[in-house]
Structure 1
Amino acid sequence: MSKTTTEINASTLLNELKEANQQMEKVVKTINQVASQANLLALNSAIEAARAGEAGRGFSVVANEIKRFADLSLTTNKESYKLIENIQKKANEVIAVRTADVAFDTIDKIDRNLFERNCDVQAWATFNAIKDCLLNVDQKNQKRATNLMKNIVDIYEVYYDLFVMDTTGKIVASGVNQNIIGKNMSERSWFKEVLKTNDVHVTDMYYSEVMNGHTMGYSCPVRDDNGQVIGVFTTRFNWNFIYEIIDSVKISKDSELYLINEDGIVIASHNHQGILTKDLNQLQAVKQLKIGEKYGYTKEKIGGQEKIYAFCKTKGYNAYRGKGWSVIVSENL
C-alpha cells in the first residue's frame, strides 16, 4: 500500500534511506565473509596444488585467480564500508539540519501569531467605546463597551475575554465574564507594569482559573484625546490556538516537539503532555540556549537511544520582542 503525501516527510524519507543503508551494510558484510572464505579456500588449494607438483599446476592457476578475486572483493568492501559510513553520517547531518529548520519555522509562526495579538490590544485600546466607558462610567457606556468586546471575541475566536480597568485597577467592563466586573486588579504585576512603563505588557503563558484554561495576557494603556492614561485595556488569549501551529508541524511518529519558556519548562508540546510541569533543563540543547545559542542542534543519548535535539529561540517579530521562548524538536538517529 503506497503512502499518502501527508504521511511522508523529509525525516521519514531520510530514516528510510538510513535503514536501506544499514541493509546494504549487511550485504557488504556477507560479501566480506564469502571473500574471506574464498581466500582461505584459495590458500588451501594452493597448498594442495604444490603437493601435486606438475599435475597440480593448472589447479594452482585457478587457486591464484580465486585469491586475486577474493583480495579484490575485500579491498572493494573496505571502500564500500567507507561509503556506507559516509552516507549514514550525511543522512544524520541532513536530519539534524532539517530538524533545526522545523524548530525555526515553528517558533517563527508562533512569533507572527503573537505579534498580531500584540497589535490587537493596542488598536482596540483606542476605540471610542473603550475610552468612553472610562471617561463616563454609566450603564449606557458600559453596555456599549461590553457589546464591542463581545463582538470582538466572537469574530476573532482566539480570545477568552477582553476587559477594561480604570487607573485604580477596578474592572469596569468585560466582554464575556460579567461576574468579574468590580474586581480590583491593582496588585497584579501586569497591571502595575502597564502603568509603570506606560506601554504594552505581555505575560508569560499561565493557567487562569477565571478563564479555565492556559492563556496569555496582553495589556495596554487607554489614553484620552490628550494622551493622558485613563485606564488599562487587557485581552486573554486562548492558548489552544497555539496548538493549531504545533499540531500542523510534520514530524515523524518517534519525534518530539516542545515549546519551552525562558526557564526551560514546557508550555506546549506535540503530544499535549507535561504543560507547565515538564522540565527540559537536563538537555544539552537547553543548556546551549541558556548560554546564548539561538539556533542549532545537539546529539544526545537518552535512555540508550541516540537522538538529535534541534533548538531555536524566539527573536520576536517586528515590535513584538517575544518572551524568551524556544522550540525543541527531537529525532531518533
Structure 2
Amino acid sequence: MQDQIIDLALELTKVTKAKIADLDQIMMRTQILSMNARLEAARAGEAGKSFSVVAQEMGSVSREVTELSGSLNLAISENAARIQNAGEEMMMGFKGSRYADMARNAVEIMDRNLYERSCDVRWWATDSAVVSVAEQPGAEAVAHATSRLATILRSYTVYLDLWIADRSGKVIANGRPDRYHGVIGADVSREDWFRRGLATADGDDFAVCDVEKVARLGNAQVATYSTAIRAGGETGGRSVGVLGIFFDWEPQARSIVEGISLSQEERKHSKVMLLDSRYRVIASTEPGAFGKTYPLKPEAEWGYGNKDGKIVAYGLTPGYETYRGLGWYGCIESAMNAAA
C-alpha cells in the first residue's frame, strides 16, 4: 500500500509537470503572436493603435501565466518530494516493525529448540549406563554406554554424536564410533565444552558453547551442550566425568531462517540471519555467510534502521523457560523497495 501511494504521487507529479510544460509552450506561442501583433499594429499607424493595446495586454497576460506555471511547477516538485519522503518513512516504519517482529520470532523459535537440548544433557547425564562408565570405565561398561548412546541417537536425530569424557578429559565412549573415527581416546581437556561442563555447580546446571565447526565431527556446524556426570547420578554428587552432546546445528537453523514468512519478491531482495552475541553469522539464507561478522549496532532489544538504503531489523533473544539465551539476535536485511 505504501509503495502504491508513492507511485501514485510520483505519477500525479509527472502528469502535472507534463501539462505545465504544454501550457508553457502555449504561452510562448501567445507571446510570439503578441509580438507579431504589435509589429503589425505599428505598421498600421494610427489605425492600429487600439489593436496594439490588446496585443500588449496579451503579452502581459502570457508572462503572468508563465510565471504562475513556474511557481506551480516548483510547488508541485516540493510537495511531491515531501509526499515521497513521508511515504518512505511510512514504508520504513511498517516494514521495519514487521521485520523486527519476524527477526525476534526466528531467534525465539531457536531458543525453544535449544531449551530442549539443555534438558536433554541434564537428563542423559543421569542415565545409569553413562554414570557407570564414568565411574568405572571397563570394557563391558564402555560397550554398554556406547550401545545406550547409539539408542538415544536413533531416537533423537537432531544430534551428530554424544561423548562421555572422564575427569582428565579423555573421551571414553561415544554413540557413533563407526562414523566418527578418532573420537575415543581423544584429549578434550582444553576444549570449552569440557572445561565448562566439569565446572557446573550441580546436576541442574549445564554449559552451552557458541556454534562452531568441529573437526572431529566432519567439520560440521555444532551447538555443544555439556554437564558433569555425577556419582550415583545424584544432583549433588561429585563429578566423575563430563557428557557432551553435539546438536546438528546447520539443518535446524536453516529451516528456521528459510521458514520466515516473506513474500517471494521480498525473498529476492532480503537475507534472514541468526547472529551470536559477537554478531557472528551463525545461520543465514545467504550461502557461505557462516562465521562472518555482521555490522549490527543494536540500540535496543528490538528495532530497525536504514543502512545504505536497506532496512535492517533485529530482535534480541528473549530466552525460554529456564534457558536464558546466549545474547543472540535474529536479523533481517532487506531492500527498501522490496514488495511485501
Contact 2:129–2:141 (Cα < 8 Å) also in 1: yes
Provide the identity percentage: 24
Partner of 2:211: 205
Partner of 2:141: 141
Contact 2:274–2:329 (Cα < 8 Å) also in 1: yes
When normalised by structure 2's length, the TM-score is 0.75
Give CA deviations for 1:177-223 in whole Å, capped at 9, x if unaligned.
26422323222232222222333111111111111111121001112
2:277 paired with 1:262: yes
* 2:3 counterpart letter in structure 1: K
Contact 2:199–2:228 (Cα < 8 Å) also in 1: no
Partner of 2:289: 274
Distance 1:173 1:31, change over 3 A: same
Partner of 2:335: 332
* Deviation of 1:36 (Å): 5.3
* 1:271 counterpart letter in structure 2: E
Query: What SS class does the counterpart of residue 173 from structure 1 fall into?
Result: strand
Partner of 1:177: 177
2:243 paired with 1:237: no
Query: What SS class does the counterpart of residue 275 from structure 1 fall into?
Result: coil
Distance 1:79 1:138, change over 3 A: same
Structure 1 gap ranges (5+): 1-13
Show the 5 A alignment for 1:65-104.
82-104=82-104
Distance 1:262 1:40, change over 3 A: same
Number of residue equivalences: 305
Contact 1:161–1:177 (Cα < 8 Å) also in 2: no
When normalised by structure 1's length, the TM-score is 0.77
Structure 2 gap ranges (5+): 39-49
Show the 5 A alignment for 1:1-333.
17-18=2-3, 21-22=6-7, 24-35=9-20, 37-38=22-23, 41=26, 82-177=82-177, 179=181, 180-198=183-201, 199-212=205-218, 213-223=220-230, 224-226=232-234, 227-228=236-237, 229-240=239-250, 241-251=252-262, 252=266, 253-276=268-291, 278-280=292-294, 283=295, 286=296, 288-289=297-298, 293-301=300-308, 306-333=309-336
Contact 1:21–1:84 (Cα < 8 Å) also in 2: yes
* Deviation of 1:122 (Å): 0.9
Give CA deviations for 1:110-133 in whole Å, capped at 9, x if unaligned.
111111111111111112221122
Structure 1 vs Structure 2 CA RMSD? 3.6
Contact 1:165–1:173 (Cα < 8 Å) also in 2: yes
Partner of 1:4: none
Q: Could you say which structure has the larger radius of gyration? A: 2
Cα distance in 2 between the residues matched to 1:217 and 1:243: 17
Cα distance in 1 between the residues matched to 2:212 and 2:114: 15
* Deviation of 1:81 (Å): 6.2
* 1:195 counterpart letter in structure 2: L
